[in-house]
Amino acid sequence: MAKQIKLITLKVAGQSAMATIRKRVESLSSGDKDEARNQIISSPISLEVRCGWTAFGDPLKAEEYAMLLVRGGPVDVRIVGEIEGGKAATAKLQVQNIEIPWTDFAIDDGDPEILLTYAHQFCME
């Protein structure tokens, strides 16, 4: 029973995060674009990039990113994906709690493009 409640909590947190992301991305095309973009870029708690294996002395190139949106409480939420050409090439929403590791959150059909638009607001070079 307790695990089922934790799964429900993960689902609610993922749905809530996705609703907020949708609203912010929609505001990019329906309102003050600068204000909408500022809301997006100020919302993550952190944005981290990871580089692949590189020969010693060669420049590092970011290949993956993790954008933490919610931390603490019962659930953490993040967007993760791959980077190409200094911007997000893919985007997946993930959730976790103290007992369940990072797990891809099932999203609706149009949501992958919305997540990618959200992630494109950040320079990841």
Q: What is the pLDDT of residues 90-109, one digit of tens each?
A: 999 999 988 889 999 988 88
- The predicted model scores a pTM of 0.88
Q: Which residue has the higher pLDDT, 97 or 7?
A: 97
Rounded Cα distance, 67 and 91, in Å: 10
pLDDT of residue 44: 95
pLDDT of residue 5: 63
Cβ neighbours around 36 below 10 Å, total: 19
The residue extents of the domains of the chain are 2-119
pLDDT at 24 over 90: yes
pLDDT of residue 31: 75
pLDDT at 1 over 80: no
The DSSP code sequence of 54-114 is: --TTSPP-EEEEEEEEE-STT-EEEEEEEEETTEES--EEEEE-SSS--EEPP--TTHHHH
Bridge partner residues of 103 (DSSP)? 95
DSSP 51: E
pLDDT of residue 12: 87
Q: Give me the amino acid identity at 110.
A: G
Q: Which secondary structure element, helix H or strand E, spans residue 49, and what is its range?
A: strand 46-51
Average pLDDT, the chain: 89
pLDDT of residue 91: 95
Q: What is the pLDDT of residues 42-93, one digit of tens each?
A: 999 999 999 989 899 999 889 999 999 999 878 899 999 999 988 999 999 9
